[in-house]
Structure 1
Amino acid sequence: MTSPTQIDTTSLLTILGVIAAVWALISPTNRLRLRFCTTWVDWAVGGSVFLLVHYLVFAPALEQLGLYYSLGPWKWGLDSSSAVYLLLLSVALYFFWRTRFPTLARGRVHVFRELIENLHLTRRYDELVLLVEPQLPTLISLTRQQSWLVRWIERWGNSQDELAALLRGEAPKPPSFWCKQWRRLLHGLKSRCAKCDKASLEAREILLNLVTSPELTVHLAQAHPHFCLKLLEADEAIRSDFIAHYIDALLDATGSRLYVELKNNQNLDVGSRLYLPENNRLLRFFFADAAKAVKNGLDAAVGESVRRRLDEDSDLAEKLNKPLGSYAENGRFRCPINSGITLFEIMVHEGIHQGLQDHMWLHYFGHFAEKILKQMNLPPDEESYQEWPTPFHYLLYRLVSVATDWAEQCVRVDDSEIPKETRCADHFDRHYISKEATKVLGAMLQDIIPSEKLSASSKSDLLEVVIRSHVKLQNDPKTADVAASFLNAVIVGADLKTKVAYRQELSNVFGNLDHVLRGNASAFETALDASLS
């Protein structure tokens, strides 16, 4: 009697021991990562290989029982042991590839949520970004997806005849009793299905956790600013205060990517419009589409961030009240107020060239001027011969200069940059934003001219910038409407009529300007005199 073939399970025991040891060393977070990466297909692959390995190892026993099916003799020098090794190597490589490039499945969103919460609560923000960024498009799409049943109810639960009647402006026929009951049943079923769609709800919860955490936003703005741009594609980011916290965090950190791009973005395109190169990814994302900037709430976010600093940051106000020094050459690139003004400058210029019919909150400039004057110290008794004695004076000049640039920029608009549907819309006004800029100029001058915080020479310098801009507009027939709006806003007032004391002081400051400039601005002088008579 021949001795039975020995079954060697040493390799299996070794492999199982290694698997158990590795599993014991894996952290709970990595176990969650493994769970969200693996789907039923992966488990099927792993289970099949596991069964096949045991099938090969226990082949002698199965052969005795008549349960072994052979495909013939082994080829290429292989045997059952080498086949087991190759199978295990293949499945190891497969799972390495799956975990290296994980794909979020709809049925594993709850596991992904647990993992994100773990990383968030333990403040491992960099790991969180590495994990979320590849899956972000999937998460956003999940929040917008609906089950087939909900889509079917939306399609067939509403009467097409009623919709057609409403579109024709006719009163739809009242539905029958059974039709009302049927619709009520369908809408109830739709609500229940929407509540049961856990994947969509959990995806929305993940995004809300990401965009509503101020501490996380601060870290992301400084360490992963471009990841935040991807988050802005989510509806949850638009509906929350994410953009406000994001802009605030960028302006808070003078070493952030935003300051780098603003400093490296000094080249002009057309007129005073700044060129936006591709490598300035933040500025390109924010302003390449001005309508998108308005939709994202970027204009209000920048405005509130700058206004809050002017109101509440006493340390910043103290610095900006010191002598100018090198602020105009270097310091302004690290100043949140100047950077906020530059963001508005770029945004509104893009809005002008894209024909946007929106003021884009440029009226924040009036608030900025008011706050700056409030924070400024009284001028010294001795007249200063510096053009800008302090950074605050320089910032006032920037506000006035940028607003005049907006007023003049409308003449350089190229129709090819304006979308056709915008250009052909009723009541389209290509000078709309420029006219709004003249209004904010008038509002700023109403604070500047009567102010006791500014010397006579400072007022003259600022008014000179305004008058030179008006002369350019007045001399160009294409901008006659902007020039008229300019005169009205600066002298009479755009919304509320200006005070007589303001107009009198404006006349006094105007009289101190260069006589050549006054001669060129005869229309302004005539209108000003008429307002005082």
Structure 2
Amino acid sequence: MLIRIESDDALAHNLNKPLLRYDEKGKFSCPIYSGIYFFRIMVLEGLYQHVPDHLWLHYVTHVVDRILRRMRPAQPEDSNHEFATPFSYLLYSVVAVTTDWIEDALRVTDDGSALSSDQTEGHHAYISFQAAEALGGVMQSALSSDKLTERLKVELLENILFMLRRLTRKHHLAPLVRSVLAYLMNPYGMGLNAKHIDAIERIYAKQDHVLRGDTKVFANVLATAKNTLAVGASFATP
């Protein structure tokens, strides 16, 4: 799939065309869409079978980087569309798939369980914690790119906030929520980046006020990240 994105010029040309009916019909004959959703199924199967391995899910960061490399620059009229091109639809799909891997921890764990990122026995959610790490890398690439419209960036973060709202309703998933938030601010624990934090703050400010009210935990961690940058301290990740 990565090779096709990188080297298939005809495919890239088609994926940079207007969306038309790609999201309704064309995606089913697209090797990239098929690859993303085969990957989704494979990793979800691992999660539901409590496989103590990330099953290469971190490759989603490479998929996003390849897509961004081949996407055409954003055009003013792109903001009139939810997804201007198939490539933008595929990028959203990658984020949605990654959040699926995280959110399905709701379905494979028990309310009374004590979860941790390194737990690999019993009804664990090791894959969900790994997906939380990957999501941070995916969003850093997406939010820093000038090939995405502001509208699409808002939708990407909105998807994540909806997920967080559902996860925070389950007390036993608090460690997973903390992991998602930490890696969104500090992708792969490589250190805070002021431009990335500024981008998150800008996009978060454009979210629906009700959703922001329901996800104050996000705002609190964002404020902590900003304060950490201001004083030059280190930002802890799980």
Give the partner amino acid of 2:176: V
Q: Residues of 1 paired with 2:166 and 2:182: CA distance? A: 16
Q: Residues of 1 paired with 2:208 and 2:109: CA distance? A: 35
The yes-or-no answer on 1:356 pairing with 2:48 is no
Partner of 1:201: none
Q: Residues of 2 paired with 1:529 and 1:426: CA distance? A: 32
CA drift of 1:462 comes to: 0.8
Partner of residue 335 from structure 1, selected from 13, 30, 42: 30
Partner of 1:431: 125
RMSD: 1.6
Counterparts of 1:82-481 in structure 2, within 5 Å, are 306-413=1-108, 430-481=124-175
1:333 and 1:339 in contact (8 A); partners too: yes
Partner of 1:528: 222
2:95 and 2:156 in contact (8 A); partners too: yes
TM-score (normalised: structure 2)? 0.88
Higher alpha-carbon Rg: 1
Q: Residues of 2 paired with 1:395 and 1:382: CA distance? A: 19
SS of residue paired to 2:144: coil
Change in Cα spacing, 1:314 to 1:470, as seen in structure 2 (3 Å) is same
Q: Whose RCO is larger (CA < 8 A, sep 6+)?
A: 2
CA drift of 1:482 comes to: 1.0
CA drift of 1:467 comes to: 1.2
Give the partner amino acid of 1:412: R
Change in Cα spacing, 1:393 to 1:383, as seen in structure 2 (3 Å) is closer
Change in Cα spacing, 1:383 to 1:313, as seen in structure 2 (3 Å) is closer
Partner of 2:186: 492
Matched residue count? 219
Give the partner amino acid of 2:134: V
CA drift of 1:426 comes to: 7.2
CA drift of 1:495 comes to: 3.1
CA drift of 1:481 comes to: 1.5
TM-score (normalised: structure 1)? 0.40
Structure 1 residues 335-384: Cα deviation after superposition (integer angstroms, max 9, x where no partner): 00000001111101100110000000011111101111111111112353
After TM superposition, where is structure 1 displaced by more than 6 Å over at least 4 residues in a row?
none
SS of residue paired to 1:363: helix
Gaps of at least 5 residues in structure 1 are 1-305, 416-424
SS of residue paired to 2:76: coil
SS of residue paired to 2:24: coil
CA drift of 1:428 comes to: 5.0
Change in Cα spacing, 1:414 to 1:488, as seen in structure 2 (3 Å) is closer
Gaps of at least 5 residues in structure 2 are 111-118, 228-238
